[in-house]
Amino acid sequence: MLINVHDSQCYMSDAGGSYNFKVSGNLVDRLGLELIPNNGVGLSEIIKNSYDADASHVEIHLGGAFKPNLEKSVIVIKDDGVGMTLEDLTDKFLNVASSHKEGKRTAKGRFCMGKKGIGRFAVQRLGRKLTLYTRSANSPEYKMEIDWDRFSAEQNLDEVDIDIQSDHEDPQYSDSTGTFLVIKHLRTKFDGNAMQEVKRSVQTMKSPFAGLTDFDVSLQVPTKYQNHDFMDFDPAQIARKAHFIFRADLISNDLKAENRGFTKKELLKMSVK
């Protein structure tokens, strides 16, 4: 004997058959809150997505992120990564459980840093409304708009339509590639704790050694925060604190390492900023 659900009424039936799980629309909200605990983690995940997209530069505008009036708050993020095709948007970004990065390297040889498919929940966790522009090579620029408040328990997840257009009036990329995010109506305003989380995350993506600067993050914040400690993303300070340094040459699959230790004074004479 089976229990069927129909028109919100449960009844008993002897009829067998095939059934499917239904996913409530508020799953998006619940996952966003549980996977992304705060603004710092949310913004860090978005930056990691830019890194995974082989971006060289990420611009983050937080001038409107510290406003007490959340309805007027806004975050703008723009990168010069590989961008997304329509297929990427529909099959990856809008696929809740997709994890296409696991165990892969990018075209630049980077190890993917974004966690398993939670970047979209980072966007949802930060703000109630999203406008996304993205363009990949040999592809038109797409504009996608999402009102996260439309995802509720009253509708199944696949019943909420999301608008994606290639013909729109405000293109962001004419002859280049990348992804541009405008996140409005933040759920909570930014503070120093959130920015310290962002700083720690960005430092893991940047090499502390001179000459290895293929990923840069520029941050614009209100004037009173411009000289704050969290604005210093330079990871060289980490290298300066090292007690030892090891050099190694990787030849085929054999690792030959020079395991002599160096003093801090010797370390500072090397090519570390």
Question: What percent of the chain is helix, strand and coil (3-state, nearest 5)?
Answer: 30, 25, 45
Judged against a pLDDT cut of 60, whether residue 125 lies above it is answered with yes
Position 52, amino acid:
D
Instruction: Measure the N-to-C terminal CA separation of the chain; round to a whole number of Å.
Output: 72
CB 120 within 8 A of CB 100: no
Residue 165 is encoded by which pair of tokens? 């257009």
112: CB partners within 8 A, 6+ apart? 52, 101, 102, 104, 105, 106
Question: What would the mean pLDDT of 207-230 be, rounded to a whole number?
Answer: 76
Please determine, for residue 248, whether its predicted confidence score (pLDDT) is greater than 70.
Answer: no
CB 77 within 8 A of CB 88: no
Per-residue pLDDT of 48-106, as tens digits, reads 999 999 999 999 999 999 988 999 999 999 999 999 999 999 998 998 866 666 667 89
**Cβ atoms < 10 Å from Cβ of 172:** 17
Cβ atoms of 189 and 70 within 8 Å: the answer is: yes
Q: Say how far apart CA 162 and CA 193 lie, in whole Å.
A: 33
Average pLDDT value for the chain: 81
Q: What is the pLDDT of residues 10-26, one digit of tens each?
A: 455 566 788 888 888 88
On whether the pTM is more than 0.75, the answer is yes
Beta strands (DSSP E) in 119-239 are: 127-135, 142-147, 163-165, 178-186, 216-220
pLDDT at residue 262 is higher than 60: no
Residues ≥6 apart with Cβ < 8 Å to 33: 125
What residues form DSSP beta bridges with 144? 132, 164
**DSSP H helical segments within 21-151, as ranges?**
27-35, 39-52, 86-88, 119-126
Check residue 42 and give left, alpha or beta (phi > 0: left; psi -120 to 50: alpha).
alpha
Tokens of 54: 């082989």
* Cα(89)–Cα(98) distance, integer angstroms: 11
DSSP letters spanning 104-124: -B-TT-PBP-S-TT-HHHHHH
